[in-house]
């Protein structure tokens, strides 16, 4: 049934969540011709100030939003994809993955000192187990401080001198339009791969949502982004590790190939196990049968099956090298 009623978009209340949700709202309003309203929702991750490693990072930002969607309090959700558990509830579907922003991590300092050159005792703030392990490898003399808080509060701790550096996502800084004068060091993927799904957004709705809403959301989907994040999240699922595991996976699509680099870290940073593999794409099949957002081929075939198989193969290679010994189980 086609309706002109506003589309209600559920989002966390943080400045970053609302900024990225507003971007999706504007794009959806343009393709659907309908008003899109933001519906702020408070999640456990917004109210519990304990470390993510203590409260369990998997789903801590998503669960309350999903409850609101199922209850009918909103029509769609916008998540940072890296915060979503890999197991999708049967009643929900990721209906769109818009074009990915910069997926790199950024080191923020007062004076531009590169991370690996920070002096002994320098304090580096991050709450991510993956980043903690990476910092311990890149800057072993530095002290890692487990922090929470929004982007502005983290930047303020560097400006005040409480911390010498923080590690942030480039995508978040860009979406907020941060104009901080602090120095930025962008970290390359070869030595500093990032979290599965980092830089990407997921637009989630009910699996039985109205056809016109699903069609409008499909217009927001970016094929290269969906291919890449599907590989990354399949690796995470294959390792049976949660969103806060000390592991990284970043995939890039170029022409008719997809390449992924995935690394599992020992929490202390002493050991790491990695793979770097490339696979050819059959784009014609994918485009003919849908990009994986719930549209299946007429014969029931899953057009993303080969992509997930590629990701699972990479996960198996990591496990064969002993990655399970480094990971907490989900």
- By annotation, the residues acting in catalysis are 83
- What is the sign, positive or negative, of the torsion defined by CA atoms of 234, 12, 100, 26? positive
User: In the numeric block, which tokens belong to residue 167?
Assistant: 């590690």
Parallel, antiparallel, or unpaired: how do β-strands 36-41 and 7-12 relate?
Answer: parallel
Residue 311's alpha-carbon distances to 256, 261, 275, in angstroms, are 16, 11, 11
Q: Enumerate residues 6+ apart whose C-beta is below 8 A from 269.
A: 132, 133, 134, 135, 136, 137, 140
Single out the residue of 94, 59, 51, 314 nearest to residue 193, CA to CA.
Answer: 314
User: In the numeric block, which tokens belong to residue 20?
Assistant: 């990225």
Q: Enumerate residues 6+ apart whose C-beta is below 8 A from 207.
A: 90, 91, 92, 93, 294
Single out the residue of 46, 36, 41 nearest to residue 9, CA to CA.
Answer: 36
Do 34 and 6 form a contact (C-beta atoms < 8 A)?
A: yes
Cα separation, 211 vs 257, whole angstroms: 32
Longest dimension (CA), the chain: 64
| Environment class of 72 (CB within 10 Å of its CB; exposed 0-12, middle 13-18, buried 19+) | exposed
Cα separation, 174 vs 168, whole angstroms: 11
Tell me how far apart the terminal alpha carbons of the chain are, to the nearest angstrom: 40
List alpha helices for 219-326, DSSP H: 223-238, 283-289, 305-320
């Amino acid at each position: 049934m086609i309706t002109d009623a506003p589309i209600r978009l559920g989002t966390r209340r943080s400045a970053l969540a609302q900024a990225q949700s507003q971007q999706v709202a504007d794009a959806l309003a343009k393709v659907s011709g309908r008003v899109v309203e933001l519906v702020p929702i408070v999640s456990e991750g917004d109210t519990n100030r304990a470390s993510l490693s203590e409260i369990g990072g998997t789903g801590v930002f998503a669960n309350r939003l999903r409850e609101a969607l199922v209850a009918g309090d909103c029509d769609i959700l916008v998540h940072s994809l890296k915060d979503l558990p890999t197991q999708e509830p049967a009643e929900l579907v990721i209906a769109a993955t818009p074009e990915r922003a910069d997926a790199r991590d950024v080191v923020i300092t007062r004076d531009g000192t590169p991370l690996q050159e920070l002096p002994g005792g320098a304090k580096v703030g991050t709450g991510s187990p993956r980043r903690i392990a990476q910092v311990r490898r890149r800057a072993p003399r530095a002290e890692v401080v487990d922090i929470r808080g929004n982007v502005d509060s983290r930047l303020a701790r560097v400006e005040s001198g409480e911390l010498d550096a923080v590690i942030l996502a480039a995508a978040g800084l860009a979406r907020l339009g941060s104009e901080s004068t602090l120095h930025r060091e962008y970290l390359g993927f070869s030595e500093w791969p990032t979290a599965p799904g980092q830089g990407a957004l997921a637009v989630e709705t009910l699996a039985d949502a109205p056809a016109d809403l699903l069609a409008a959301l499909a217009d927001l989907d970016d094929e290269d982004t969906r291919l890449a994040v599907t590989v990354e999240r399949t690796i995470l699922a294959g390792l049976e590790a949660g969103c806060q595991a000390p592991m990284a996976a970043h995939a890039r699509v170029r022409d008719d190939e997809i390449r992924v680099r995935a690394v599992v870290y020992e929490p202390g940073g002493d050991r790491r196990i990695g793979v770097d593999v490339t696979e050819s794409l059959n784009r014609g099949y994918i485009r003919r049968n849908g990009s994986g957002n719930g549209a299946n081929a007429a014969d029931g075939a899953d057009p993303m099956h080969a992509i997930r198989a590629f990701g699972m193969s990479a996960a198996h290679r990591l496990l064969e090298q002993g990655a399970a010994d480094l990971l907490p189980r989900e």
